[in-house]
Amino acid sequence: MTSFNKKSPFESKELSQPIPSPTRERSKHTGNANDPEKAISTAVNGGDDDELVTWDGEDDPESPYIWSNSRKYTMTALMSLGGLVSTSSASMMAPALNEISMDLGISDTETQLTMSIYLLAFVFGPMIIGPLSELYGRKKIWIFCHAWYIAWNALAPVGKSSGMMVAGRFLSGFGGSVSISISGPTMADMFKADQRGKSYALVTFAPYLGAAIGPLVGGALSEAAGWPWLFWVVSIFDNILITIFAIFTHEPYGPVLLARKSKQLRQATGRDYRTKFERSHPKLSQKLKVSMMRPIKLFFTTPIILILGLLTSYSFAVYVIALTTFSTMWQEDYGLSKTKSSLHYIAIALGSTIGSQATGPLIDIVWARLKAKNDGATAPEYRVPMMVPGIITMPLGLFLCGWAVEKHLHWIVVDVGAALMSGGMMSSSSAMFSYLIDEFAQHSASSNAACRILSNSFAFGFPIFAPSLYEKLGYGWGNSMLAFMYIGLAFPAPWILWRWGSKIRAIGRLE
């Protein structure tokens, strides 16, 4: 692995040719239109720009960056709980798959489909939700999507019909995908770059737990009350959550707040005050077209999106395989009950928590040190060093977990392997999404949607063939194959991004 203590790539004349070297932070009295973090807070004066609406300097009290910590962390906590609902729904069926298969009268493969089709909706949901949140605001879209989720999630088990189950799971997934669509971008709306790692760790704390807590609660609840209550209990909880969210949170997206400000100024003065986006796209149809096409444009024209998307998609798909097969493995290979097998998801939850929460602050520390080393210059590549620990840890966990099951070793060995796998995945993904948000600050929701096209496509498809994979190769060689593929894909990535990231980012960059 290439050392990151070598000369920074941003000092290289060759690499600085495609785009300017990262700019230093300027005085708050000077325009910062080229700084992604401050692009919407530039004070514009003179000429035809007298009616261009921006923030009243960097200390404008209406700017989400200036909000009180209590306001910021209230929204962070509630969005994190919303993510818990979304991710727990993805995996809560795992311990009850055999029972669901019998009640619905469908095969094991079809049952796996009813579970993973929820994630298929995550492919399409962010493509719509992300752009709409950049047009209408994060808060309205978040509430609408959760209300949509509640309705379809509650309907999914009604009548114990396979058709209703598939439709309910798929359509509820559209609403549930709001968490992965706008949680990270919302943190970028409220927290500056030097706090981005920590804020991302906080908003993903509950969602990362949810993927493992879902089966844990699902096993006990399905055994005690029947599997339909898995859906109804989550819908009841989410109903309470969106009520609290609607009352206690505020809109955090800067361009939407500025659009409201321009509307108030037009009504008060009669002058044609507009934001930059309103001037370039005055009609609603134009705004919708530009916003909705942005993720697709990014996906097909921006290589950095494809690189990060491929890295995160494969690791996430392997993680989903673990979630969907873990309970079955304990029941079939170790003879445990549904409730006892679901307890082992604590290992995955523990690994996810440590991986994400430890990495978040470290991402900020490394970023700050590299910024100081480069005389105040900043760049997304400062997130790259913290990709390395997770990339190394994840395949180690896969090897250990797979061969421990194959040799029927003590359960603690299996759980340690599962924890290393999930912790490594969460650690590397946190750094990768921080990199993405740094590069696409103002359009982070659209870039996030574009990046997740591959991620959720893989997450939908991989679990379907997982049972046949382990049936033919066993857990030892099955996990080893997944680990070797990951090593070939992910190990070169940090070096490539560190060495050529600035050149890659310059291709297809949004103006």
* pLDDT tens sequence across 368-391: 899 889 888 888 899 999 999 999
pLDDT value at residue 285: 65
- Res 291 pLDDT > 80: no
Q: How confident is the model at residue 15 (pLDDT cuts 50, 70, 90)?
A: very low
* pLDDT tens sequence across 177-223: 998 888 888 988 898 877 877 887 888 888 877 776 787 788 778 87
Across 207-221, b (16+ Cβ under 10 Å) vs e yields bbbbbbbbbbbbbeb
For 314-347, give the DSSP string. Answer: HHHHHHHHHHHHHHHHHHHHS---HHHHHHTHHH
- Res 84 pLDDT > 70: yes
Tokens, residue 380: 């997304």
Q: What is the 3-state secondary structure (H, E, C) of 425-477?
A: HHHHHHHHHHHHHHHCCCCHHHHHHHHHHHHHHHHHHHHHHHHHHHHHHHHHH
Place of tokens 């659009």: 259
pLDDT value at residue 155: 92
pLDDT value at residue 2: 41
* pLDDT tens sequence across 437-472: 888 866 777 777 788 777 777 777 777 777 788 888
Q: For residue 198, what are the CA distances in angstroms to 184, 192, 201, 202, 430?
A: 11, 11, 5, 6, 10
Strand, coil or helix: what is 52?
strand
Q: For residue 427, what are the CA distances in angstroms to 227, 371, 463?
A: 33, 21, 22
For the four alpha carbons of 274, 276, 279 and 284, in that order, the dihedral sign comes to: negative
- Res 40 pLDDT > 50: no
d(CA 180, CA 3): 32
* pLDDT tens sequence across 385-416: 999 999 999 999 999 999 999 999 999 999 99
* pLDDT tens sequence across 300-354: 888 998 888 888 888 888 888 887 788 788 888 888 877 788 788 889 888 988 8
d(CA 276, CA 34): 14
Cα radius of gyration rounded to whole Å, the chain? 23
Mean pLDDT of 123-128: 83
Cα-Cα-Cα-Cα torsion 53, 54, 55, 57, nearest 10 degrees, comes to: -120
Mutual angle of helices 196-203 and 69-91, in 10-degree steps: 50
Beta bridge partners of 274: 52
Q: Provide φ and ψ at 439, rounded to 5°.
A: -75, -35
d(CA 473, CA 405): 13
- Res 256 pLDDT > 80: yes
Instruction: Assess contact for 423 and 355: CB atoms under 8 A.
Output: yes
CB under 8 A, 24+ apart: contacts of 147-151: 147/175, 147/242, 148/172, 148/174, 148/175, 149/85, 149/86, 149/89, 149/174, 149/175, 149/176, 149/178, 149/235, 149/238, 150/175, 150/235, 150/238, 150/239, 150/242
Residues listed for the chain:
511
At residue 422's C-alpha, the angle toward residues 419 and 424, to 5°, is 100
pLDDT value at residue 7: 44
Q: Provide φ and ψ at 123, rounded to 5°.
A: -70, -45
Q: How confident is the model at residue 286 (pLDDT cuts 50, 70, 90)?
A: low
- State the chain's mean pLDDT as an integer: 81
Q: How confident is the model at residue 276 (pLDDT cuts 50, 70, 90)?
A: confident
Mean pLDDT of 79-99: 85
pLDDT value at residue 284: 62
pLDDT value at residue 33: 34
Instruction: Assess contact for 311 and 489: CB atoms under 8 A.
Output: yes
